[in-house]
Structure 1
Amino acid sequence: MVEWDETERAWMLALQTYETARKCPVCGMDITFCHDQEKVHRAFKGADVETCFVGEMREQAMRRFADSGEVKAPNSQTTKLNMRNG
């Protein structure tokens, strides 16, 4: 078990406060930027669609699990990536 001293706990609480109050839960950027339409349009000309293959693998696992009929709490399920050996 890791024990943090008072200073470390204070730093972690400060980080949590910053992330909760300043970071957008959708994009992870500072809300003073991403919630300002003019700033966003000045900075970016648009967006491209890309595939996160880790996310795709997780979605496939969840789909197989859902199709198995074993799902009791669909909003509480998560996935774990399994490393290949070798």
Structure 2
Amino acid sequence: MGWEPRTTFEYDSAGRVAASLREVEWDEEQRDLMVALQEFRDTKICPLCGGLKKFCGDSATERLIEPTVVRCYVASRIEAERDKESAENVKVQQPSGRTWGARMKSPI
């Protein structure tokens, strides 16, 4: 899927591979584009809302925005399990260093 760099081979007089040359995956133009994209994201995009900083940083924007709520059922399930465990273990000291996550259930 996508572009794959090509490899060209040079052969000696006996027909054996003498050298190979692989195309670079990221040429100078592609690297420059990726650096420019990252610079744009770092300087122009708000890390909280993903919008343009000049828009989301303008107090007049507040009148133009109508927040919507979308439920993340994965996060909701994790929170419910965490709350359930906390309620069951109120008297038990929980060790630090625990993290929560989710994985898909096996279809079987």
* Shorter-chain TM-score above 0.5: yes
In the TM superposition, 1:7-46 aligns within 5 A as 7-41=29-63, 43-44=64-65, 46=66
5+ long unaligned stretches in structure 2: 6-24, 87-93
For residue 37 of structure 1, report the CA deviation from its aligned partner.
1.3
Letter in 2 for 1:8: Q
C-alpha distance in 1 between matches for 2:39 and 2:30: 14
Q: Distance in 2 between matches of 1:83 and 1:15?
A: 37
- Code of the residue aligned with 1:47 in structure 2: it is P
TM-fit CA distance, 1:39: 2.6
Distance 1:17 1:50, change over 3 A: same
> What TM-score comes out, normalization by structure 1 length?
0.59
Instruction: Using the aligned pairs only, state the percent identity.
Output: 28
2-structure distance, mates of 1:16, 1:54: 29
Which has more strand, going by share of residues?
A: 2
Q: Is the 8 A contact 2:74 2:102 kept in 1?
A: no
Aligned equivalents of 1:83 and 1:14: distance in 2?
41
Q: Which residue of 2 aligns with 1:56?
A: 76
Structure 1 residue 29, shift from structure 2 partner: 0.1
- Are positions 1:47 and 2:61 aligned together? no
Structure 2 length-normalised TM: 0.49
Instruction: Count residues in correspondence.
Output: 77
Greater fraction of residues in helix: 1
Hey, what's the Cα distance between the residues in 2 that align with 1:12 and 1:38? 32
Tell me by how many angstroms 1:52 deviates: 1.8
Alignment RMSD, CA only?
A: 3.3
